[in-house]
Homo-oligomer: A and B are copies of this chain.
Amino acid sequence: MVDSEGHPDGDEIALGSVLAALADPLRRQVVAELARAPGGTERTCASFGFPVSKATLTHHFRVLREAGLIRQVNRGNSRAACLRADDIEARLPGLLDLVAAEGGKK
């Protein structure tokens, strides 16, 4: 079941949808940055500074939301995205670490 805003339940997060969502480099970077940030960090779509149009951004964040990777909540003016770290870790343990590690060798 999904709520009215398109978020699947934690126990409905499907491996196939998650892998498909993470196959795109832009979406993977969103998850990677959120995973490396302190827990519960909220980011606005535009704050990532990707060189794509607003319409494309909406599309990518929808895919991430419907896969269960992020949660989007209304914050008045804009819409904040935060990683569903607990849900993902409970269902696909270790996956976030792999994504967070990529490109994070500073």
- B-contacting residues of A (Cβ < 8 Å)? 15-16, 19-20, 22-23, 25, 28, 92-95, 97-99, 102
Copies of this subunit: 2
Contacts of A19 in B (CB 8 A): 19, 22-23, 28
Alpha-carbon distance between A28 and B20 when the two chains are bound, in angstroms: 11
Q: Which residue of B lies closest to A16 (CB)?
A: B25
CB distance B15 to A102 under 8 Å?
yes
- A98 touching B95 by the CB < 8 A rule? yes
**Closest residue on chain B to residue A98 by CB atoms:** B92
Q: Which B residues lie within 8 Å of A94 (CB)?
A: 93-95, 97-98
**What residues of B have a CB within 8 angstroms of the CB of A93 in the complex?**
94, 98
Is the beta-carbon distance between B16 and A23 smaller than 8 angstroms? yes
Q: How far is the CB of A88 from chain B (nearest CB, A)?
A: 11
Given pairs A94-B97, A95-B95, 13 additional interface contacts (CB within 8 A):
A15-B99, A16-B23, A16-B25, A16-B28, A19-B19, A19-B23, A19-B28, A20-B23, A23-B23, A93-B94, A94-B94, A94-B95, A94-B98
